């Protein structure tokens, strides 16, 4: 009698254990399917680094043109003899076409940072074509109005780095290259120049793509020190690669 009750209890316990295992496994499986990245993620072209063997690094500036900081950046880059990549906002090109022309005439490359700087995760996917293609068209016009040969680009950096399944899927289907970075000091928060300089240079590795912003006065002031430290390491500067 005692033994029978014991066996019965053990059976129930085993069944309960088995059931909870199945439920946990189902929850993990379900969570994975809800989260899993879309298949195109694997095929989406993205650039975040020049490659391990490269001795080149790139300075990239998001959010311009800006009436106050773009002239300061252009002056600092000219003095340092560095060509960079500006991830411009299409509406900024419309507002400050003369600054866009100066970027191009100084030999810098333009790339896409959206038309209005909306985070793609917070707008409807129906707005992606306008947010992305309008800026590509504005970039092409900026090259032409500067009297320079158009450097065709499909390089795009999402505002705030915001990406979700729909955005990744759109970029993949529309032949866009994701322009990422490998060195990020957080200069969007407007730290003083010395902090930007020490943050970038203490982590600087060959091949780095350095994320900076055309938004604060600390960044242009940090350029000479960053360039000097990089050249001291035997590194050279070029605009970000397209492929």
Interface contacts to Zn ion, rule CB under 5 A: 62-63, 159
Nearest partner of 230 among 238, 220, 240, judged by Cα: 238
CB of 187 to Zn ion, least distance (A): 11
CB-nearest residue to Zn ion:
62
Q: Which is nearer to Zn ion, 116 or 229 (CB)?
A: 116
CB of 35 to Zn ion, least distance (A): 26
Q: Which of 49, 66, 113, 213 is catalytic?
A: 213
The DSSP secondary structure of 203-218, one letter per residue, reads T--TTBEEEEETT-SH
Nearest partner of 229 among 62, 49, 59, judged by Cα: 59
Q: Which is nearer to Zn ion, 56 or 153 (CB)?
A: 153
Q: Which of 62, 63, 208, 214 is catalytic?
A: 62
CB of 216 to Zn ion, least distance (A): 12
Q: Which is nearer to Zn ion, 87 or 143 (CB)?
A: 87
d(CA 46, CA 243): 8
State yes or no: is 62 an active-site residue: yes
Q: Which is nearer to Zn ion, 62 or 208 (CB)?
A: 62
CB of 135 to Zn ion, least distance (A): 12
d(CA 45, CA 3): 66
Under a CB-based contact definition with an 8 Å cutoff, are residues 219 and 187 in contact?
yes
d(CA 224, CA 242): 25
Pairing label, strands 177-179, 155-156:
parallel
Q: Which residues are catalytic?
A: 62, 213
């Amino acid at each position: 009698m005692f033994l029978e009750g014991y066996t019965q209890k053990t059976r129930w316990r085993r069944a309960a254990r088995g059931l909870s295992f199945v439920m946990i496994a189902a929850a993990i499986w379900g969570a994975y399917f809800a989260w899993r990245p879309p298949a195109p993620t694997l095929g989406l072209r993205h650039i975040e680094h020049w490659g391990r063997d490269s001795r080149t690094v790139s300075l990239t500036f998001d959010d311009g043109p800006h009436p106050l900081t773009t002239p300061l950046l252009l002056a600092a880059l000219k003095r340092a003899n560095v060509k960079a990549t500006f991830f411009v906002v299409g509406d900024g090109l419309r507002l400050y076409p003369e600054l866009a022309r100066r970027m191009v005439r100084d030999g810098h490359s333009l790339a896409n940072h959206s038309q209005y700087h909306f985070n793609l995760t917070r707008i409807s996917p129906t707005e992606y074509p306008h947010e992305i293609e309008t800026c590509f068209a504005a970039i092409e016009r900026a090259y032409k109005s500067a009297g320079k040969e158009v450097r065709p680009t499909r390089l795009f950096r999402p505002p705030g780095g915001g990406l979700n399944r729909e955005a990744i899927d759109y970029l993949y289907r529309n032949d866009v290259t994701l322009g990422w970075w490998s060195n990020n000091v957080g200069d969007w928060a407007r730290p003083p120049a010395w902090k930007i300089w020490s943050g970038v240079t203490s982590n600087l590795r060959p091949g780095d793509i350095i994320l900076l912003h055309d938004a604060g006065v600390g960044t242009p002031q940090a350029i000479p020190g960053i360039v000097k430290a990089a050249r001291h390491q035997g590194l050279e500067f070029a605009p970000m690669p397209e492929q």
